[in-house]
Amino acid sequence: MSNTPTAPAENAPPVRINLYSDTQTKPSPAMKDAMMAAEVGDEQHGSDPTVHELCDRVATLLGKEAAVFLPSGTMCNVAAILVHCRPGDEVVAHEHSHILSSEGGAHAALAGVQIMQLTGPHGMFTCDTLQASVRAKSRHAPEQRLLSVEQTANRGGGTIWPRDQLDHVLDFAHELGWMTHMDGARLMNAAVATGTPARTYAAKCDSVWIDFTKGLAAPLGAVLPGSHAFIDQAWRWKQRLGGSMRQAGICAAACIYALDHNIDRLADDHANAKRLADGLAKIPGLSVQSPETNLVYFDPTEAGLTGPELIRRMQHKGLRLSQLGPQIRACTHFDVDTAMVDEAVELIAHELRGARGLSDSG
């Protein structure tokens, strides 16, 4: 297995409709203008004014004392776990969480922690499940140190933790003396979908971060807020990990632009996801999970094709999808409009009708 990312299949036509991920957005001309105009300094020396402005704004948005700018969401998770835990500690998280499936084993390799996997529908778990995970304190058992939750739960279907359930598990973790961390890669999607302020979801988290490269459509960057003491330690890890930058205000300006222009419009992505799911649900045999935000998961197996085969065929029609676990994921974002959604439904319906050996009128 190669360690390098795979390019789209050879001989495939150019991608016209990219539902692969909300990470694939391109910065808009107006965002690029904001980047060009950014006032910059040496971020590593704490003298980039645009990075300061971004960190102050995200700390306020999430109701925390301070924040640090990092190149990626993955580095936010890595730095936070490094601050909260010591080698040999245990982190408790959902079995489908990003820290387990998609970060290259970073938390074992770098923090030396093990991760206990909780189960539960849609990427979430209950207080009872959490309670059952608690180990009796003994020198035989690892120290359970941190509870990590994802809002929204990506592999759960872009689902939104209800506030009560979220607060219960976070309160319970604190009662146990654990720290709490929120992977908020798509936290702003949850906030826009429910009208609940992001800081309300983050209130009981000792650390939380948002990604600027998902629905917010910036080219890079994520911001990790927490207490002054936490951020002080996170800065040391940023330095150690090579995440300290120089004229990073160029990128922070894109993130500030996204805060000003790209949050409310996440509602459009959610409407498009619903439109996509409603269209797909009309295809016989296709099981579609009803979306709460911008991710649509479906399984075409009963409708006539395996996921990987449908993805391969769609790629030849210029439609890009991804396979996540047993399901296909289609993701709506800044560069996807309603006409593209309708065409995607049409392409998938046509292909599956063909696969079942029915005529188009059948």
Ligand X SMILES: *Cc1c(COP(=O)(O)O)cnc(C)c1O
Closer residue to ligand X in complex, CB, 73/279: 73
Among 48, 90, 183, 206, the residue binding ligand X under the rule CB under 6 A is: 183
**In the complex, least distance from residue 346 CB atom to ligand X, rounded to whole angstroms:** 28
DSSP conformation class of 112: -
Question: Across the beta sheet with 322-324, what order do the strands follow?
Answer: 287-288, 295-299, 327-331, 322-324
Asked whether position 73 contacts ligand X by CB under 6 A, the answer is yes
Among 185, 276, 295, 328, the residue binding ligand X under the rule CB under 6 A is: 185
Asked whether position 74 contacts ligand X by CB under 6 A, the answer is yes
CB-nearest residue to ligand X: 73
Peptide bond into 129 cis (omega under 30): no
Q: How far apart are CA 293 and CA 261, in angstroms?
A: 18
Residues 338 and 272 sit within 8 Å (Cβ to Cβ): yes
CA 7 remoteness from chain centre: 21
- Applying CB under 6 A, the span of 12-20, 71-79, 252-260, 333-341 interacting with ligand X comes to 71-79
| Per-residue contact flags (x/-) with ligand X for residues 302 to 321, judged by CB under 6 A | --------------------
Closer residue to ligand X in complex, CB, 73/307: 73
Among 211, 268, 292, 351, the residue binding ligand X under the rule CB under 6 A is: 211
Among 43, 150, 269, 299, the residue binding ligand X under the rule CB under 6 A is: 150
**In the complex, least distance from residue 357 CB atom to ligand X, rounded to whole angstroms:** 38
Among 28, 148, 154, 315, the residue binding ligand X under the rule CB under 6 A is: 154
Which pair of tokens denotes residue 4?
């390098």
CA triple 218-219-220, angle to 5 deg: 95
Q: Which of residues 98-127 bind ligand X (CB under 6 A)?
A: 98
What three-state secondary structure class fits 159? strand
- 222-226/66-70 β-pairing: antiparallel
**In the complex, least distance from residue 101 CB atom to ligand X, rounded to whole angstroms:** 9
Among 25, 50, 72, 144, the residue binding ligand X under the rule CB under 6 A is: 72
Closer residue to ligand X in complex, CB, 50/154: 154
What three-state secondary structure class fits 177? coil
Total Cβ atoms within 10 A of residue 90: 19
Asked whether position 224 contacts ligand X by CB under 6 A, the answer is no
Asked whether position 269 contacts ligand X by CB under 6 A, the answer is no
Q: Which helix (H) or strand (E) holds 80?
A: helix 73-84
Q: How far apart are CA 328 and CA 331, in angstroms?
A: 10
**In the complex, least distance from residue 285 CB atom to ligand X, rounded to whole angstroms:** 29
Peptide bond into 332 cis (omega under 30): no
- Applying CB under 6 A, the span of 67-75, 110-118, 168-176, 330-338 interacting with ligand X comes to 67-75
Residues 6+ apart with CB under 8 A from 58: 67, 210, 223, 225, 259
**In the complex, least distance from residue 117 CB atom to ligand X, rounded to whole angstroms:** 15
- Applying CB under 6 A, the span of 51-59, 70-78, 277-285, 317-325 interacting with ligand X comes to 70-78
Closer residue to ligand X in complex, CB, 85/216: 216
What three-state secondary structure class fits 292? coil
Q: Which of residues 190-209 bind ligand X (CB under 6 A)?
A: none
315 phi, psi to nearest 5 deg: -60, -35
Closer residue to ligand X in complex, CB, 71/304: 71
Q: How far apart are CA 214 and CA 186, in angstroms?
A: 7
Closer residue to ligand X in complex, CB, 100/176: 100
Residues 132 and 118 sit within 8 Å (Cβ to Cβ): no
Q: How far apart are CA 349 and CA 303, in angstroms?
A: 10
> What is the contact surface with ligand X in residues (CB under 6 A)?
72-74, 98, 150, 154, 183, 185, 211, 213, 222
